[in-house]
A and B are shown apart, each in its own frame.
Chain A
């Protein structure tokens, strides 16, 4: 709180400083507390801070002069025949990033009256790359607008591990970790935040195309050989989406689910040396529910689910008896369902629903349906389409354009969602997501700007998995089962 105050106070000083014409005497600022005085002095000196782009431009300018004076550069070295031309949403930031990530040098930039970069040239290693800002009126669109770029750029470097580490430190995201490849390269795939993917590689072993083909054929045969046990990428009983609860008191909550909702416990994995649960799997009706005791990394947070039951009133009563609190008493809804709401002892919300009118058994009527109350729900829908290939199964918007209730289909599962409001607090979800090819899903999600909490990797429990968080607060744990290990 005090820090908040200080940062506000400091900004008022900075604001006054910037408003003052340059060169006027710095007179004593009113109300500057003793603790802020040294910072105010630094702020005053920073008014003369040179612009980075100026320093860089002048350096390039001087370098051009010196290189012209000292060593002539051959025309072929400067002009390569084919040059990639990247259209990006913020070309200045992209140039900045490529400098940091790949050691690019800026050759030139042309800035239009709208302050946008109409054309810029950078060099990475011995290659030129051209860039410009987006100009939708002229059909120049960035991957961020188009939803990705089909063109990847290949960087051949001397030390892929060092270059990749530098790129990641500058903000690139790892899409495929660095590995030795059968074609003699050590390489990995990285995404920048402007929608482009960079394959960074170091040549380890030179070989002919024929040799590469031979090695690839051998690999492929190995893949289909009957000696290799087949593994189901989506484990038995799982659908695409499974709500994953992180709570304080997982063991107590499991008891509650058994008592209130008739849950069956498939297994639980205790954390080493304690009562706490690292991972547990329950079955309720035809759905799986996963839960764990909260950790520092994955803190306790409430989520909401629709729970389809036959007898709302009976389950509601059982839930209250088992320790739930009531959110709403059972009542008939205008759309023909009977509904009630309870909050479990860990604070998760359960909307108990008995379906009367719709009698077809689809993903919509699976026992557990995750429900997301989100700020900017409509934006989330578009995001989920781009990142996870979600399809709209149902959409009902209010007169203000906000999503009242929507259902999205992802894989074989359905998500219900609506805009958070004063009555309905924002409750994002935490979703375990089993897919046949987690690498592709991960790449698409990262491209759409999700935060990577744990990058994609092979886990000891037999899944290739990652932890992500989107801008709407939802956690996503995409995974492909790759090896049966058993607990």
Chain B
């Protein structure tokens, strides 16, 4: 999945962050969606996924000096922290509820390809045109109804549904466009220069 130059780039990032924790932000940006997707696949609700994701990155930052480069991607280290954090959380919950059988859940396998695909999808959402991005974010991440979104954006329900459709359609198109193109956030790439007017 990853080629050598990517590995080298990541290695430099990790070493830079080990010297100056101020550089941790780049590692966070590169891995946030992956970690979140992995955790969200395994826990039942958003609050828990958020708590655990925060815990993973805090632990990673605190223990960064101990990370040794052994050829495994940095993400694998993060996901191991995530896996442990999820297990701890389940164990403590099971203890509270006196229900030891939840150990079964721990062996539940997560398909890593699926996690990568979701992480990519989440990153692509941030590159959608502004109005589509807002609708997708409000509908799925904030779980708002079409009516709430329509009110907030000052548009009709039909228009919001169209934006939702177009947003998902363009996500689908970009996902199937292949893995070579790395999604980079674009700032206002669409031009709003269509001029109107009459007199001349």
Contact = CB atoms under 8 A, between A and B. Distances in A.
Interface string B119-161: 0011001100010000011011111001000000000001001
A292 B118 CA distance: 53
Contact of B172 (A42, A59, A66, A69): A42
A10 B161 contact: yes
Interface stretch (B4-12, B44-52, B77-85, B93-101): B44-52
A228 interface: no
Contact of B164 (A14, A38, A66, A432): A14
A298 B54 CA distance: 52
Contacts of B71: none
Q: Chain B binding site: helix, strand, loop or mixed by DSSP?
A: helix
B183 to A, nearest CB: 15
A482 interface: no
Contacts of A23: 44
Given A46-B121, A46-B140, A38 B37 contact: no
A267 interface: no
A8 B159 CA distance: 10
Given A49-B141, A463-B199, A58 B165 contact: no
A169 B185 CA distance: 14
Interface string A449-487: 000011000011101011101000000010100000000
Given A14-B139, A69-B21, A43 B168 contact: yes
Contacts of B22: 63, 66-67, 70-71
A62 B41 contact: no
Contacts of B192: 168-169
A432 B197 CA distance: 10
B142 A100 contact: no
Interface string A6-46: 11101100100010001100000000000000110011011
Residue from A59, A62, A71, A298 having most chain B Cβ neighbours under 10 A: A62
Interface in B18-73: 20-22, 24-25, 28-29, 32-33, 36-37, 40-41, 44-46, 49-50, 53-54, 57-58, 61
B146 A11 contact: yes
Given A22-B45, A62-B57, A169-B192, A279 B187 contact: no
Contacts of B164: 7, 10-11, 14
Nearest to B196: A453
Contact of B118 (A14, A48, A100, A466): A48
B107 interface: no
B200 interface: yes
Contacts of B54: 58, 61
Nearest to A169: B188
Nearest to A41: B172
A221 B60 CA distance: 67
Contact of A49 (B28, B125, B200): B125
Contact of B197 (A45, A49, A51, A297): A297
A298 B139 contact: no
B87 interface: no
User: Considering the complex of A and B, which 9 residue pairs feature the smallest CB-CB distances, nearest first?
Assistant: A169-B188, A453-B196, A7-B165, A467-B197, A48-B40, A66-B21, A454-B197, A46-B140, A297-B196
Interface of B: 20-22, 24-25, 28-29, 32-33, 36-37, 40-41, 44-46, 49-50, 53-54, 57-58, 61, 117-118, 121-122, 125-126, 130, 136-137, 139-143, 146, 158, 161-162, 164-165, 168-169, 171-172, 175, 187-190, 192, 194-200
12 contacts: A47-B140, A48-B37, A48-B49, A48-B118, A50-B32, A50-B36, A54-B50, A58-B54, A70-B20, A70-B21, A168-B192, A460-B200
Given A14-B139, A58-B32, 16 more contacts: A14-B164, A42-B121, A48-B37, A48-B122, A49-B137, A50-B32, A51-B137, A52-B141, A54-B53, A65-B58, A66-B25, A70-B22, A166-B188, A169-B192, A244-B199, A465-B197
